[in-house]
Amino acid sequence: MILLKEYESEIDAKSLAERLRAKGIFTHVSSRQSKRIGAFATGALKVGVWSVLDHQATDAIALLSNNRHQVENPLTEEEMVELETKIDSPGGALYNAAILTLSVMALALVGAYALFK
């Protein structure tokens, strides 16, 4: 997973994720629930838009500045739904990778918050 962009607005993050998904880029928006709960309780100040598949990151970055960029390996909507199902099922490889990545990020944020508090 590669972070593409962070937003203070969940709506802006969701809009970018949907635009990339329409081009066949599999994305994830992180920290939505944490930001809703509040930065004081969770430390989440922003939501992030991620390219879930590393091999799509270059195309995703290119699409940030050029919406006409042609994605080399786009996924179909059906393929993305299938991957989402695998991510959502405990024990799946993508699920485990996502949980590990998000856990490390959460620990880093908490550590940075405590350090600079």
Tens-place pLDDT, residues 30-74 = 765 554 555 545 555 778 899 989 999 999 999 999 999 999 999
Task: Pick the range with the lowest mean pLDDT from 68-72, 95-99, 102-106.
Answer: 95-99
Residue appearing with tokens 């620990």: 107
Is the pLDDT score of 26 beyond 80? yes
Contacts with 15 (C-beta within 8 Å, 6 or more apart), sequence order = none
Is the pLDDT score of 94 beyond 80? no
Is the pLDDT score of 92 beyond 70? no
